[in-house]
Structure 1
Amino acid sequence: MLKNSEQNYGLVSRANHWLSAILFIGLIALGLYMHELEKSPEKFELYDLHKSLGIGLFMLMMLRLVWLKVSPNPEQLSKNKFEHILGHAVKGILYLAMIMMPISGWIMSNSGGHDVSFFTLFTLPNFVGENEIIHEIAEAIHGTAGLVLIAIILLHIAGALKHHLVYKDATLLRMLGKNKKEQ
């Protein structure tokens, strides 16, 4: 089943979710690691990899937004109104971060005098010339959004585990392509 149903996530949504999760966690780890490195050819190669993966994640996010119009997500299983609202808020912040992080990184690179390319296949247009003030603002947004993102991802994981371990509902199983009966 490619599309989502009223009860379950389809293959497209599940694949996008898990690929995005792996990329996001990898990008955060890579970003933290390379930030601490001294300037060197290795550091610039890692920056190029980080930018390429960031573009890939941005493309997945755009696909996700289009797919939501084609195949809406199943309704949350939470019966607690606060948790239902919190779940929507966390998802909204995750979506916003998946858009803000690559855009702020793109602006940060361009305003720092660097191109942004996708694995040397193509280079994104340079909308912002070299500008120290814009660079510092974009860098602050990118860094702050990264920290917020770490917190939101941890909250997202905690919520999924609470549903699975405490409520024993199918929230996590649905994202694994299983339903409650298969457990």
Structure 2
Amino acid sequence: MLKNSEQNYGLVSRANHWLSAALFIGLIGLGIYMHEMEKGPERLEMYQLHKSLGIGLFMLMMVRLLWLKISPNPEQISNSKFEHILGHAVKGILYLAMIMMPISGWIMSTTGGHDVSFFNLFTLPVLIGENEMIHEIAEEIHGTAGYLLIAIVALHIAGALKHHLVYKDATLLRMLGKNKKEI
């Protein structure tokens, strides 16, 4: 089934979730790795890859937001009102982050005088010309938010594992395309 149902995630939502997760985690790792590299052509290539993957993640998030209008997510499984609120808050922060991180990276690049290209297929327009002050602010936001988001992703994963291992409910199984009955 492509669309979400009241109980389960459809193929489109599951594929978007796992592809976004892989890209997001890869972008964090690549960002940390390339930041430690010495300046040179290899580092420049890593920055170009990071930018392209960031644009890809942004596009996936736009598809996700559109898809939510077409096919709303099933209601989350919660054991308490606090967990229900926490689950929505974590998901909201992740959605916001996967939109804001590419935007702050785009601003950081263009204010630093660098193009933002998607695998050399197209180049994003310059939102703000070169500006050292804005560049430094965007750089700080992008870097700090990346580290903070590691904690949010860990909380998201911990919540899924708690539901699966402690509560033994279908929360994680639904994102794997399985029902509790299938296990």
TM-score class, shorter: over 0.9
Displacement after TM superposition at 1:79 (Å): 2.4
1 CA distance for matches of 2:143 and 2:158? Answer: 23
Query: What value does the CA root-mean-square deviation take over the aligned residues?
Result: 0.5
Partner of residue 154, structure 2: 154
| Contact map agreement 1:100 1:145 (CA 8 A) in 2 | no
Partner of residue 166, structure 1: 166
For residues 40-59 of structure 1, the aligned pairs below 5 Å read: 40-59=40-59
Residue 144 (structure 1) aligned with residue 144 (structure 2): yes
Amino acid at match of 1:85: I
Gapped regions of structure 2 (runs ≥ 5):
none
Partner of residue 96, structure 1: 96
In structure 1, the residue corresponding to 2:149 is in which secondary structure? Answer: helix
For normalisation by structure 2, the TM-score amounts to 0.99
2 CA distance for matches of 1:71 and 1:148? Answer: 30
2 CA distance for matches of 1:130 and 1:79? Answer: 50
Identical aligned residues as a percent: 85
2 CA distance for matches of 1:156 and 1:104? Answer: 23
| Contact map agreement 1:116 1:124 (CA 8 A) in 2 | yes
Partner of residue 70, structure 1: 70
Partner of residue 135, structure 2: 135
1 CA distance for matches of 2:21 and 2:32? Answer: 17
Amino acid at match of 1:51: K
| Contact map agreement 1:27 1:53 (CA 8 A) in 2 | yes
Residue 84 (structure 1) aligned with residue 96 (structure 2): no
Amino acid at match of 2:177: G
Displacement after TM superposition at 1:69 (Å): 0.5
For normalisation by structure 1, the TM-score amounts to 0.99
Residue 30 (structure 1) aligned with residue 30 (structure 2): yes
Amino acid at match of 1:152: I
Q: Deviations over 1:110-162 (max 9, x none)?
A: 00000000000000001111110000000011012111211100000000000
Amino acid at match of 2:146: G
Amino acid at match of 1:157: I
2 CA distance for matches of 1:110 and 1:122? Answer: 15
Partner of residue 8, structure 1: 8
Partner of residue 19, structure 1: 19
The count of aligned residue pairs is 183
2 CA distance for matches of 1:76 and 1:131? Answer: 44
Amino acid at match of 1:99: I
Displacement after TM superposition at 1:51 (Å): 0.1
Following TM superposition, the consecutive aligned residue runs of length 4 or more in structure 1 with deviations greater than 6 angstroms are none
Amino acid at match of 1:43: R
